């Protein structure tokens, strides 16, 4: 129960009318009622809303949006009618310009509050966020869970926020336009032949997830059905599910269809993909191209690098914005052709291969062995000979190569997962004293934390820019250049 002063008590089911003044980390609106803070999911900054307390704490409460009394100027009609239930988008009801302002503010605030940089220092280096031209249909990958609704009807769609209840929706507003036709085709086939969806509770049933990927540059489509299959080793010509040929014929008619596979996952787990993938139609992989873009107007600058992507590969989900992000990273790296560059957390080598054309040598480090195999293969396909890849943790490989083999670095690029860089990794980077470090980050909070360590260790901020890869959601990417201080 919350309280104000001595006597006013706030409790569950209390209703308030508040003006939403701020946005929380999960995209929720934040309002204040007599000094008491209310977190209101689905409220947009600038709204005046009536909301009901769901959970009251001492100084704050979580409240449910009951009614929009005065809509915010930043409020728009979202394309997706499920945006409130679905866990994917948090701020689709906010005008895209307001989304970008929010992300720019968040990056700045995190750098100041968590990184301990002054506002002036950040304002000096932080350039305006790079937005998308079209904030819908930008994702090249979708993973739809398949299941049944309360009446037992077969459905596929998305998990409702923080649950495993499936909302039937084969037409996500962020995904490729083709997803719908593919999904409807597979569901119709399953209904016709009574092929059951996997049931998490009992571990029975067959189809768990449907993964769809599209190469935006090539137009190639990939479908991978994740199935709960216990049929032992695949015998030649054996079908993984009933009337497989009929389904494949149906999918083959869809324009761009290039690869259909199954992925076996018979484990009782939340992990979507299994380890074994069998191609059942077309090619093993699809292609996509990443081009360099001019960082002034983001026009195309080259023929690009071709990436071959398999169902299990990691690949950036927003290819258009990825080109802008990498082009900025390349510019920040300031390469002249003479440099030795390390690309830590390199995935399938996307950034590494992008840098290789302008560097003497690029070393990539990545923990996932398959990703490193993809990176090597992609280097080969593109005729890139000065990139070398190591399997292992950045915080182990880097010290080893530096301390034991004396490999140095002129420039280090890092692109870690949300938790940021390991302390040992930052420490080795400081010892190696590269001229420049380019930090690509998907979480401004851990970015700020790590930049503090690096700047305390002798580096200074040069340039920083956010690039929105995830319209409709609270997430954003950033790229920062720091330079060694010469004393
Ligand atoms: N730069 C790549 C991938 C970035 S995602 C791209 O843009 O496509 C972050 C990557 O870091 C993932 O591929 C993940 O497998 C890898 N990773 C996670 N922890 C790591 C660690 N400790 N050392 C090296 N790589 C790691």
Pair 80, 172: CB distance under 8 Å: yes
pLDDT tops 60 at residue 4? no
**Would you kindly state where each structural domain of the chain is located, as residue ranges?**
2-75, 141-284, 317-484
| Phi, psi (degrees; rounded to nearest 5) at 40 | -120, 105
Instruction: Return the best residue to mutate from 324, 327, 367 for the ligand 1 pocket (most ligand atoms within 8 A of CB).
Output: 367
| Fold classification of 2-75 (topology level) | OB fold (Dihydrolipoamide Acetyltransferase, E2P) (2.40.50)
**What is the position in ligand 1's atom list of the atom closest to the CA of 416?**
9
Does the beta carbon of 366 lie inside 6 Å of ligand 1? yes
Per-residue model confidence as pLDDT tens digits over 171-227: 899 999 999 999 999 999 999 999 999 999 999 999 999 999 999 999 999 999 999
Asked if pLDDT for residue 7 goes beyond 60, the answer is no
Q: Say yes or no to pLDDT of 290 above 60.
A: yes
How many CA atoms, within 13 angstroms, populate the side-chain half-sphere of residue 203?
Answer: 6
- What's the 347 CA to ligand 1 centre distance in angstroms? 5
- The yes-or-no answer to whether 2-75 and 317-484 have a common fold is no
- Mean pLDDT on 324-335: 97
Mean pLDDT of 320-331: 97
pLDDT tens digits, residue range 236-253? 567 898 899 999 999 999
User: Whole-angstrom Cα distance, residue 426 to residue 450?
Assistant: 8
Closest atom of ligand 1 to 316 CA is 8
Q: Is the beta carbon of 347 within 6 A of some atom in ligand 1? A: yes
CATH topology of domain 141-284: OB fold (Dihydrolipoamide Acetyltransferase, E2P) (2.40.50)
Among protein residues, the one with the nearest Cα to ligand 1's atom 10 is 345
Cβ of residue 326 lying under 6 Å from some atom of ligand 1: no
User: Which residue has the least CA distance to atom 21 on ligand 1?
Assistant: 393
Query: Could you tell me if 51 and 39 are in contact, meaning their C-beta atoms sit under 8 angstroms apart?
Result: no
Fold of 317-484: Rossmann fold (3.40.50)
Q: Catalytic residue numbers?
A: 442
């Amino acid at each position: 129960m919350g309280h104000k002063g001595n006597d006013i008590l706030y409790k569950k089911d209390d209703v308030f009318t508040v003006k939403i003044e701020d946005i929380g980390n999960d995209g929720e609106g934040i309002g204040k009622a007599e000094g008491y803070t209310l977190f209101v999911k689905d409220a947009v900054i600038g709204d005046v809303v009536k909301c009901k307390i769901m959970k009251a704490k001492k100084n704050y409460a979580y409240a449910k949006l009951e009614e929009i009394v005065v809509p915010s100027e930043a409020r728009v009609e979202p394309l997706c009618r499920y945006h409130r239930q679905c866990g994917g988008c948090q701020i689709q009801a906010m005008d895209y310009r307001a989304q970008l302002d929010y992300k720019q503010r968040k990056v700045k605030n995190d750098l100041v509050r968590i990184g301990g940089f002054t506002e002036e220092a950040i304002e000096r280096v932080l350039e305006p966020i790079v937005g998308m031209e079209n904030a819908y249909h930008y994702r090249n990958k979708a993973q739809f869970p398949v299941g049944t609704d309360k009446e037992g009807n077969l459905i596929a769609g998305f998990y409702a926020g923080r649950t495993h209840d499936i909302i039937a929706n084969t037409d996500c507003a962020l995904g490729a336009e083709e997803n719908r036709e593919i999904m409807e085709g597979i569901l119709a086939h399953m209904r016709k032949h009574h092929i059951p969806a996997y049931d998490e509770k009992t571990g029975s049933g067959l189809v768990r997830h449907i993964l769809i990927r599209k190469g935006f540059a090539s137009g190639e489509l990939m479908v991978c059905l994740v199935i709960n299959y216990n049929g032992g080793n695949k015998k030649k010509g054996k079908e993984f599910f009933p009337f497989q040929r009929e389904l494949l014929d149906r999918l083959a008619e869809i324009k761009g269809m290039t690869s259909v596979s199954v992925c076996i996952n018979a484990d009782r787990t939340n992990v979507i993909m299994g380890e074994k993938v069998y191609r059942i139609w077309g090619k093993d992989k699809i292609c996509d191209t990443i081009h360099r873009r001019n960082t002034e107007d983001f026009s195309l600058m080259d023929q690009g690098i071709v990436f071959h992507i398999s169902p299990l590969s990691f690949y950036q989900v927003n290819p258009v914005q990825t080109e802008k992000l990498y082009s900025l990273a390349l510019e920040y790296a300031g390469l002249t052709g003479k440099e030795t560059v390390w690309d830590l957390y390199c995935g399938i080598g996307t950034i590494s291969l992008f840098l290789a054309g302008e560097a003497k040598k690029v070393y990539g480090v990545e923990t996932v062995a398959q990703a490193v195999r993809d990176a090597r293969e992609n280097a080969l396909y593109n005729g890139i000979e000065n990139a070398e890849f190591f399997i292992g943790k950045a915080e182990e490989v880097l010290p080893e190569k530096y301390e034991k083999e004396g490999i140095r670095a002129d420039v280090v690029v890092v692109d870690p997962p949300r938790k940021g860089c390991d302390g040992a990794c930052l420490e080795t980077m400081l010892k190696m004293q590269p001229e420049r470090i380019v930090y690509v980050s998907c979480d401004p909070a851990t970015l700020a934390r790590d930049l503090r360590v690096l700047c305390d260790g002798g580096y200074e901020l040069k340039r920083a820019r956010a690039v929105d890869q995830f319209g409709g959601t609270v997430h954003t990417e950033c790229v920062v250049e720091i330079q060694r201080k010469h004393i």
